[in-house]
Amino acid sequence: MERRHRVLALVFAIAIAVPGIYIAVSFLSARQQVTIATYRQTASLPVWIAQDMGFFRNRGLDVQLLEFSGAGLAAHVLVTGGADVGGMPTVLALQNVEAGVPLRLVHATADWRAGTSQLLVRSSLPIRSLEDLRGRTIGFEDLATTCLPCVAFQRVFDANGIAITRVEVPDYKVEEALNASTVDAAVVTSPYNTFAVEHGAAYVLVDPRVGPEGDASVAAYGVTPPSGGLPEWMGSAAYWTTTSYLAAKPDVVHRVARAIADAAGWLRDPQNLQTARDVLIKYAGGLGTPSYFQAAARAVLDKTEWRSYPDGYVDWRAMEAQRDAFAVVGLVRGDADVRALVSNPWFQA
């Protein structure tokens, strides 16, 4: 009799456990595997946050990140089928589209505020206007058109008939070049512009022709946000997928977009700033002291706005403005249909 009771108890326990096991297995099997190619730039931060803070997991996704040093590699992996979703600057996405690559937007990231790039003048020089820089040596991160801020600032000089001597100086060496009087001024991007000013090596040239807060790149490629205020370089970068993947797995793409939107909302909470810096340093950091990277992360995040688009890129006109600006400087033809690029089964621009 006792043995019979033990057998019945075991059967009863199994009967209770099986549904729970089935539910757990079903939940795990429901997780959709997604491969996302990221690159070491602040624009990738919402994706890194979504991974580390569990937003992808909360949306039923099992995400594998493929990490690359540059956007070109991340874009190449996406368009060649090595990833389901990939990040890249908007200009690169538009160039790919014009080359026949069938891309569709997943979620825009990293809106740059005015002051992200600035024209800095050596602190010992009494420069008050663009004209005072005529004939002087100006440092640029890159002399090629791949440097979008460089192109924007050069256009300002050209539009005002101011001839300068251009030399290539990487952003991280600008402060050294200014202190050594190798250059008289330089176009510098965050965080290096912040460092140069804080250390007394330079000051920002304030001239209304350059743009708000001396940022010609935001003036050239940006728009005024729907909420008002100063122009921003909205959607400077984004995460994309291919039309074939979107057609095959629209729900998965939507869940990726919603997870990134969740991460953007998390980034807007000031209480999360320190953790955001830590995650940025984890994925994008290189050689340097912890204090240096904390300062760099602070400077970069101070100039970045995060917006959430869980159900479609409602600010798609900002991307149209970029397309038109890029066409003016010859970076794209300007015939990409932005409305088609941002439209999907759950959103029609």
Q: pLDDT at position 21, please?
A: 46
CB 106 within 8 A of CB 311: no
Closest CA to 42 of 319, 313, 298: 298
Closest CA to 314 of 42, 6, 105: 105
Contacts of 126 by beta carbon, 8 Å cutoff, 6+ apart = 132
Q: pLDDT at position 148, please?
A: 95
Statement: residue 96 has pLDDT above 80: yes
Statement: residue 286 has pLDDT above 90: no
CB 120 within 8 A of CB 177: no
CB 38 within 8 A of CB 65: yes
* 111-113, strands of its sheet edge to edge: 232-233, 111-113, 304-305
In this predicted model, what pLDDT tens digit does every residue of 143-169 receive, in sequence order?
Answer: 988 899 999 999 999 999 999 999 999
CB 127 within 8 A of CB 195: no
Count of residues making up the chain: 349
In this predicted model, what pLDDT tens digit does every residue of 199-225 receive, in sequence order?
Answer: 999 999 999 999 999 999 999 999 999
CB 138 within 8 A of CB 187: yes
Confidence of residue 227 (pLDDT cuts 50, 70, 90): confident
Q: Which amino acid is at 170?
A: P
Half-sphere exposure for 110 (CA within 13 Å, toward CB): 21
CA atoms of 340 and 349, how far apart (whole Å):
7
In this predicted model, what pLDDT tens digit does every residue of 107-131 receive, in sequence order?
Answer: 999 899 999 999 999 999 999 999 9
Average pLDDT over residues 267-275: 97
CA atoms of 178 and 157, how far apart (whole Å):
20
DSSP 8-state code for residue 133: G
CA atoms of 103 and 245, how far apart (whole Å):
10
Statement: residue 15 has pLDDT above 50: no
Put simply, whether the predicted model's pTM sits higher than 0.75 gets the answer yes
Confidence of residue 29 (pLDDT cuts 50, 70, 90): low
CA atoms of 294 and 280, how far apart (whole Å):
9
Question: Reduced to 3 states, what is the DSSP secondary structure of residue 207?
Answer: coil
Average pLDDT over residues 25-43: 81
Q: pLDDT at position 10, please?
A: 42
DSSP 8-state code for residue 44: G
Q: pLDDT at position 289, please?
A: 81
Rounding to the nearest 10 degrees, give the CA dihedral for residues 95, 101, 103, 108.
-20
Confidence of residue 68 (pLDDT cuts 50, 70, 90): very high
Q: What is the mean pLDDT of the chain?
A: 91
Confidence of residue 14 (pLDDT cuts 50, 70, 90): very low
Average pLDDT over residues 41-61: 97
Question: Reduced to 3 states, what is the DSSP secondary structure of residue 51?
Answer: helix
Share above pLDDT 90 across residues of the chain, in percent, rounded to a whole number: 86
Structure token pair of residue 200: 């007394």
Q: DSSP letter string over 240-281?
A: EEEHHHHHH-HHHHHHHHHHHHHHHHHHT-GGGHHHHHHHHH
CA atoms of 55 and 46, how far apart (whole Å):
10
Confidence of residue 230 (pLDDT cuts 50, 70, 90): confident
Q: How far apart are the first and last CA of the chain?
A: 72
Statement: residue 13 has pLDDT above 50: no
CA 244 from centre of chain? 24
Q: Which has more confidence, 22 or 296?
A: 296
Q: pLDDT at position 22, please?
A: 43
CA atoms of 114 and 216, how far apart (whole Å):
9
- Going through 4-76 in order, the beta strands assigned E by DSSP cover 32-39, 61-68
Q: pLDDT at position 26, please?
A: 42
Average pLDDT over residues 319-343: 96
Q: Is 262 left (phi over 0), alpha (psi -120 to 50) or beta?
A: alpha
